[in-house]
Amino acid sequence: MTDVTRVNKKVSSPLSHPWSAKADWLQSATGILLGLFLLLHMHFESSILLGKEAFYQVVQLLEGGIFSSSGHGFPIVTQVFSVFMLLVVMLHAALALRRFPTQLGQWRALRTHMHNIHHRDTHAWFWQLVTGFILFFLIPAHLFTMILNPEIGPHLSAERVYHDNAWLLYALLLPAVVIHAMIGLYRVALKWGLSSRRAALGNVAKALIIYLLCLGAASLITYVFIGSELGTPIQPFVPKK
C-alpha cells in the first residue's frame, strides 16, 4: 500500500499545481485552433484538384487580393500567418510536453499497460503521442519554408513540391498531422463534455482521418504531376483573361 501511495503522489503532484488546469485549457484551446486550421488548410490546398485557375483564385483571396489594385495577393500575408501558426504550435508543444514520457521506464510501463489493457482511448493517446513527436520536427520545417519562401501558386507550389523535393516532407507530414489532429479533436470533445457519445465520435474521427488522407494524397499527387510538366526556370501561373 505504501508503494502505491508513493506512486500516486508522484503522478498526481504535477497535476495539482495551481496552473495545471489553466495549462490543460490552453493546450485544448490551441489544439482546437490547430485542428480547425488543418481542416480549412487542406481544403484550400485541395482546390488544385479543381484546376490551376481555381487554386490561383483561392490563393489571391487568402492573400488579400481584393485589397490590391492589381488583384494580386500579398505574399507577406502568408509569412505573417506562418509566423503566427509557428508560435501557436510551439505553445501547444510546450504544454503537451508536460505529459510526455521522458524516461525509459515510463515508456515500458505505457507499453505494458497497452498490452494488458486493450482500451481504445489509451491506444489513441499513444498514437497521438507518437505523431506529436514526429510533428515536433516536421511542422517547423514546413512553416520555416513558408516563412522564407512564401510565394504560392499552381506553378510555384508545384515547383516546391516536385523540383525542390518537398513531396518527401509532405508525404511524412500528411499522415502524422491528420492522425494527430483528428485524435486530438476527438479527445478534447470527450474531455470537455462536448459529446458523450464516445463510439459515434470515434467513428467520425476515423472517417475524417480516411477522408483527409485521401484528399491530401490526391492533392500532393496533383502537385507532383504539375511540377513534372513544368520546364525551368519556373514561370508563375497567369490565368487566362
Residue numbering of the annotated binding site for heme b: 41, 92, 142, 180
By C-alpha distance, which of 139, 159, 135 is closest to 149?
159
Asked whether 6 and 178 are in contact (CB, 8 A), the reply is no
Binding site as annotated, residues: 41, 92, 142, 180
Cα–Cα distances in angstroms (integers) from residue 173 to residues 106, 176, 222, 240, in the given order:
27, 5, 17, 34
Residue that is written with C-alpha cell 488546469 in the block: 21
- The contacts of residue 223 (CB under 8 Å, 6+ apart) are 48, 157, 158, 161, 162, 167
The three three-digit cell numbers of residue 29, written as one number: 484551446
Asked whether 157 and 58 are in contact (CB, 8 A), the reply is no
The three three-digit cell numbers of residue 36, written as one number: 480547425
Cis peptide leading into residue 101 (ω within 30°)? no
Burial class (CB in 10 A: 0-12, 13-18, 19+), 196: exposed
d(CA 135, CA 130): 9
